[in-house]
Amino acid sequence: MRIIKVATDDGNAYYDIVSRLKRTHLRFFSISPGEAVDSVQDLVLTSRREVHAFEGEAVAIEDLNEDSLIMEGQLLSRLLEDSRRNLLIGIDPGSRIGMAMFYGGRELGALTENSAEKLVDLLVMLAKEVPHSSLSVKIGAGEPRSSLRLARLSREKLPPSASIEIVDESGTSAGKRGEIGAIRDQRAAARIAFRKGVQFSDLVRSRRTPG
């Protein structure tokens, strides 16, 4: 995988870049702007004013999303081969919704949200801002009403190419004793993401077909 290198003479830009990178799971190195870079191996992160001074691929921090999770996906898209840009989402429905996000086999992050609409809006932004070769959303079936609502909202707002599955979530909520609810929901969502389910479109079709 290519290496992220931070290079800028702008003190404010350097602070912005480093502080935002520290909120991601990405490793990076700082170099001086005059230091040689490998156009094949290095991905330089700099300011928009300085981006044209570097050979190869350089990225301006101003062009990246301010949300650290989405920014991490945007940077990973430049580090991974096209075939590995798979966006995988696991959702654990309920009064408090857990969500875990994976990109290219790496965890982007996990969160909890009380609003189905806000969670799906985040999914839409993720799909829009992070280049991907495939998008798969897995939704646990433990709370049918909440699961179907999330699936319908996702189907309405996400691209037609997105795969939306309803997944048997039996055993996914088992966690360590003392684990707080939000963390437990996020871990359940991560387990749901890697289970095989039923396509939401097939489920809708089977319910419309007379028995």
Segment 112-141 shows an average pLDDT of 96
Task: State the Cα–Cα distance between residues 60 and 164, nearest whole angstrom.
Answer: 34
Task: State the Cα–Cα distance between residues 155 and 209, nearest whole angstrom.
Answer: 20
Q: What is the pLDDT of residues 202-211, one digit of tens each?
A: 888 777 665 5
Give residues with Cβ within 8 angstroms of 128, minimum separation 6: none
In this structure, which amino acid lies at residue 157?
Answer: K
Task: State the Cα–Cα distance between residues 120 and 137, nearest whole angstrom.
Answer: 11
pTM of the predicted model as reported, rounded to 2 decimal places: 0.87
User: What share of the chain has pLDDT > 70, as a percent?
Assistant: 93
